[in-house]
Amino acid sequence: MTTDSSVLSTMPTAKRVALLNRDDRLFHVILAQQVQRETIDHLCKLAEMIRTVAETRQGVHFLRTLLSHKRAMLYFIQPSTRTFLSFASACQILGMPYDEVRNPSVSSEIKGETEDDTIRVLSQYFDLIIMRHPVEGFAETMAHELDALHLSIPIVNGGSGKDQHPTQALLDIYTLLRSFAEDSGPKGIPSFAHDRMAGKTIAFVGDLKRGRTVRSLVYLLGRYPGVRLRFVSPPELGLEHDIISYMKRNEMEYETASDLGEIIGDCDAVYMTRLQDEYDIKGESKSIDYDRFRLSADMAPQFKPNLAILHPLPRRNELDRALDTDPRARYWDQVKNGMWMRAAIIAYIFNADAAILDHFQSHYTY
Ligand code: CP
């Protein structure tokens, strides 16, 4: 079967999802649309259990036994700080040795080896490839190529061009649910199945056209009935039609706005994003007045008392540093939550989730 990115983009999403999952579980983790609500709930609970278990020396030792027999490759040929390091930390938490390729100019790609062949080679040494790549669809195409060649190992998408960043979206959901949790329950395990999103208003601000984190998060928020979305962006950088179609098909409540100041007072969460000008073709972003899409500390009197301020980071000037000490700033939590969520995702992929659940239930009140 031909599965290059041009074919994939015309394939129905349900078929793409079916090709990436196995037995209704995630195998390759490429698209946010693969992740059903019960899997989101499960991964959030698992992340919370791992972080709790890791509070004790005995727990750390237990976690390190789980995947010491597996190896991971972090193939990150587009820049990254958080995604790379949180996946690396997640591997360490689970005792999983990992190696990295971040600079293909010191690999045999410099001798003319194709990226496809590089990935095939990596599949022979490792049990998991976590991949960041500037080209949309590359990770998905590689997943299918490995499957077709009977070289299948799970591929996790750590950011695919302007398209998707599903593990960021999962950590964002985890952060939102933790932020919205009114009581955390025994031993800090909130019920993630309880719908804390219903009735919440979440604003997305900035470069929504090229922001892969926004795209993946909107897909996941489609699993939460009753959530209200607001989108604030320069007209040139609004949401792409595929996301708008998705929201319409799923009867999601959404509105667009041009002025953040007019809507911020109604928001329970605001998700700021930077200008993604690395995707400019001819410097077209230079003419955009992005200062209008800035969250400033001057707006704080309008904020709800429990507003959650999120940003996937890195940031530039769109998020006022004066807000960093505001308890409503959740972007540092996002960074940490990413490590626990990514540990949960890796544990889940290798079916280590049952052992974590057993350990937790035998050591903690739950
Ligand atoms: N949020 C995020 O993807 O950050 P990095 O680009 O640093 O990985």
CATH number, domain with residue 204: 3.40.50.1370
Ligand 1 atom closest to 79 (CA): 6
| 49-77 mean pLDDT | 98
* Atom 7 in ligand 1: residue holding the nearest Cα: 81
Q: What is the pLDDT of residues 166-199, one digit of tens each?
A: 999 999 999 999 999 865 555 556 677 778 999 9
Is residue 3 very low, low, confident or very high in pLDDT (cuts 50, 70, 90)?
low
Give domain status of residue 184, yes or no: yes
My answer on whether 23 and 156 are in the same domain is yes
Structure token digits, residue 67: 């995947």
My answer on whether 328 and 180 are in the same domain is yes
Distance 86 CA to ligand 1 centre (A): 10
Distance 80 CA to ligand 1 centre (A): 5
For residue 364, the tally of other CB atoms under 10 A from its CB is 15
Give domain status of residue 138, yes or no: yes
* Atom 1 in ligand 1: residue holding the nearest Cα: 312
Q: What is the pLDDT of residues 219-270, one digit of tens each?
A: 999 999 999 999 999 999 999 999 999 999 999 999 999 999 999 999 999 9
| 74-103 mean pLDDT | 98
Ligand 1 atom closest to 338 (CA): 1
Name the E strands within the chain: 21-22, 25-26, 72-76, 98-101, 128-133, 155-160, 201-205, 228-232, 253-257, 269-272, 308-310
Query: How many helices and strands (H and E) does the chain possess?
Result: 13, 11
Assess contact for 205 and 260: CB atoms under 8 A. Answer: yes
Task: Compute CA 70 distance to the chain's CA centroid, rounded to the nearest angstrom.
Answer: 23
Q: In what order do the strands lie in the sheet with 201-205?
A: 253-257, 228-232, 201-205, 269-272, 308-310
Give domain status of residue 182, yes or no: yes
Distance 314 CA to ligand 1 centre (A): 6
Task: Compute CA 284 distance to the chain's CA centroid, rounded to the nearest angstrom.
Answer: 27
Ligand 1 atom closest to 84 (CA): 8
My answer on whether 16 and 131 are in the same domain is yes
Q: 3-state class of 250 per DSSP?
A: coil
User: Which residue in 289, 288, 296 sits closest to 319, CA to CA?
Assistant: 296
> Which residues surround ligand 1 with Cβ inside 6 Å?
80-84, 159, 168, 312-314
Beta bridge partners of 256: 231
Structure token digits, residue 179: 């932020």
Question: Based on the structure, what is the number of domains in the chain?
Answer: 2
My answer on whether 146 and 237 are in the same domain is no
Ligand 1 atom closest to 85 (CA): 8
Give domain status of residue 20, yes or no: yes
Give domain status of residue 283, yes or no: no
Q: Which domain holds residue 60?
A: 5-164+336-363
* Atom 6 in ligand 1: residue holding the nearest Cα: 80
My answer on whether 47 and 143 are in the same domain is yes
Ligand 1 atom closest to 132 (CA): 8
Kindly give the pairing relationship between strand 155-160 and strand 201-205: unpaired
My answer on whether 177 and 105 are in the same domain is no
Q: 3-state class of 83 per DSSP?
A: helix
Q: In what order do the strands lie in the sheet with 155-160?
A: 98-101, 72-76, 128-133, 155-160
* Atom 4 in ligand 1: residue holding the nearest Cα: 82
pLDDT for the residue 366 = 67
My answer on whether 26 and 173 are in the same domain is no
Q: What is the pLDDT of residues 144-156, one digit of tens each?
A: 999 999 999 999 9
Q: What is the pTM of this model?
A: 0.96
CA pair distance 225, 243, nearest whole angstrom: 17
* Atom 3 in ligand 1: residue holding the nearest Cα: 83
My answer on whether 153 and 234 are in the same domain is no
My answer on whether 247 and 311 are in the same domain is yes
Q: What phi, psi does 193 have (nearest 5°)?
A: -75, -25
Q: Which residues of 325-359 are buried (b: 16+ CB within 10 A; e: fewer)?
A: eeebbbbebbbebbbbbbbbbbbbbbebbeebeeb
Distance 129 CA to ligand 1 centre (A): 17
Share of the chain above pLDDT 70, in %: 96
Give domain status of residue 317, yes or no: yes
My answer on whether 209 and 327 are in the same domain is yes
Structure token digits, residue 116: 């496809």
My answer on whether 141 and 106 are in the same domain is yes
Q: Looking at the predicted structure, is the pLDDT value of residue 347 above 70?
A: yes
Distance 343 CA to ligand 1 centre (A): 16
My answer on whether 113 and 243 are in the same domain is no
Q: Looking at the predicted structure, is the pLDDT value of residue 46 above 80?
A: yes
Distance 81 CA to ligand 1 centre (A): 6
Going 276 to 280 to 286 to 287, the CA torsion angle's sign is negative
Distance 364 CA to ligand 1 centre (A): 33
pLDDT for the residue 285 = 93
Q: 3-state class of 197 per DSSP?
A: coil
Distance 251 CA to ligand 1 centre (A): 30
Is residue 1 very low, low, confident or very high in pLDDT (cuts 50, 70, 90)?
very low
Mutate to test the pocket of ligand 1, among 80, 162, 331 (most ligand atoms within 8 A of CB): 80
Give domain status of residue 303, yes or no: yes
Give domain status of residue 226, yes or no: yes
Ligand 1 atom closest to 165 (CA): 3
Share of the chain above pLDDT 90, in %: 91
Distance 18 CA to ligand 1 centre (A): 28
